[in-house]
Amino acid sequence: MEETYLLNVEGVKKKILHGGQGQLPKLQDGSKITFHFQTLKDNFERTVIDDSREAGIPMEIIVGKMFKLEIWETLLSSMRTGEVAEFWCDAIHTGMYALVSRGMRRIAEGRDPLEGQKHRCGMGNMFDYHSTGYEDLDELQRTPQPLIFIMELFRVEEPSAYKRDTWAMSKEEKLAAVPVLHSEGNRLVLRKEFGQAAAKYQEAVICLRNLQAKEKPWEEDWLKLESLITPLVLNYCQCQMELGEYYEVLEHTTELLQKHNDNAKAYFKRAKAHAAVWNEREAREDFLRVAHLDPSMAAAVKKELKQLGERMRKKHVEDRKRYQGLFQTPRG
């Protein structure tokens, strides 16, 4: 039987869809809450905006870590483990939902939630870019409105009971975690476990970029963090090369070179990726740039150019044979 409650919060109504077990959890700073959620519009169709089950993994938030949608902590604190509840929240509580959803969607897509974000608050970034990148969220941003959240609470863990994700760490904890992740990545590379190594490097990069987003671009603290990010990105690209993800290498090295156009190692990795996907002209240009920037790599460049020439000649011969077969007139 569904029961409707008025929480002691203006503009919130709660309806229990399935009862939970035990007592209400005692939340404290650092507690981790794991739950599934569904966000719907308050219209006749109850249009679904987001559904964490579609991503395949439940949502997690850390209490006291200034999650942008503060009302969620309030809603979850009223639930017992295993409970499923529906909450109606007025627009005074849902104004930031578009930005929160944007970040969650980017994470689900395997992207950095702060990618491209300037050194400003969330609303400031919205005014800079005028779009979240998602049409339905842009509509919510233009016209704040009441929303319905259906939540299922799985568990609440004390701060000492779980391994904390890097995004939930303080600045000092993140800086301490980066060299550990770097070393773990290097160890996995030696074992030729390139996929797992890439994940370690990526986690370290995201950790540093989250810190970097709080600094002013190109000032001293920003540059210090950038100097830590660059080798991690190059290591990540090397892992992707080993995994055959050449276009991802092209994307990340090009992004790196837009900021650091004198990085010979980045040019070298991009050249190898170009060569792997048969971009001969681009590969030669990048290899020659490497030799110009770092004469100590001239021997390696010469070897790569020789291999590139041999591969391209072999490919041309194979292509000619293939095309000749296509246009020959059949006999008899």
Same domain, 144 and 204: no
Q: Which domain holds residue 148?
A: 4-115+128-157
Same domain, 10 and 152: yes
Res 119: pLDDT: 40
Would you say residue 293 lies in a domain?
yes
Q: Cα–Cα distance between 30 and 28 in angstroms, integer?
A: 6
Structural domain tally of the chain? 2
Same domain, 11 and 149: yes
Would you say residue 331 lies in a domain?
no
Q: Cα–Cα distance between 73 and 87 in angstroms, integer?
A: 12
- CB contact set of 269 (below 8 Å; sequence gap of 6+): 234, 237, 238, 241, 249, 253
Which of the pair, 325 or 34, is modelled with greater confidence?
34
Res 55: pLDDT: 76
Q: Cα–Cα distance between 294 and 254 in angstroms, integer?
A: 18
Same domain, 224 and 251: yes
Residue 86 scores a pLDDT above 90: yes
Task: Find the CATH number of the domain harbouring 225.
Answer: 1.25.40.10
The rounded percent of the chain whose pLDDT value lies above 90 is: 53
Q: Cα–Cα distance between 74 and 90 in angstroms, integer?
A: 14
Least confident window among 54-63, 103-112, 160-169, 272-281: 160-169
Token pair 């830590």 in the structure block, residue: 228
Local confidence band at 277 (pLDDT 50, 70, 90 cut-offs) = very high
Same domain, 135 and 71: yes
**309 alpha carbon, distance to own chain's centre:** 37
Same domain, 287 and 220: yes
Res 2: pLDDT: 54
Residue 51 scores a pLDDT above 50: yes
Residue 189 scores a pLDDT above 60: yes
Counted residue by residue, the chain has a size of: 332
What's the start-to-end Cα distance of the chain, in Å? 82
Residue 215 scores a pLDDT above 80: yes
Res 327: pLDDT: 58
Q: Cα–Cα distance between 101 and 85 in angstroms, integer?
A: 20
Residue 130 scores a pLDDT above 70: no
Least confident window among 49-53, 107-111, 276-280, 284-288: 107-111
Residue 109 scores a pLDDT above 50: yes
> Which phi and psi angles does 191 have, rounded to 5°?
-90, 5
Tens digits of residue pLDDT in 7-43? 678 899 999 999 999 888 888 877 889 999 999 999 9
Residue 17 is given by DSSP the state: E
Q: Cα–Cα distance between 93 and 13 in angstroms, integer?
A: 12
Mean pLDDT, residues 92-120: 72
Same domain, 24 and 135: yes
Residue 194 scores a pLDDT above 50: yes
Task: Find the CATH number of the domain harbouring 11.
Answer: 3.10.50.40
Res 126: pLDDT: 38
Same domain, 140 and 23: yes
Would you say residue 204 lies in a domain?
yes
Tens digits of residue pLDDT in 247-268? 999 999 999 999 999 999 999 9
Q: How far is the CA of 70 from the CAs of 89, 206, 304, in angstroms?
A: 12, 23, 55
Res 26: pLDDT: 81
Q: Cα–Cα distance between 212 and 206 in angstroms, integer?
A: 10
Same domain, 275 and 199: yes
**Mean pLDDT for all residues in the chain:** 85
Residue 54 is given by DSSP the state: H
Res 264: pLDDT: 96
Mean pLDDT, residues 217-222: 92
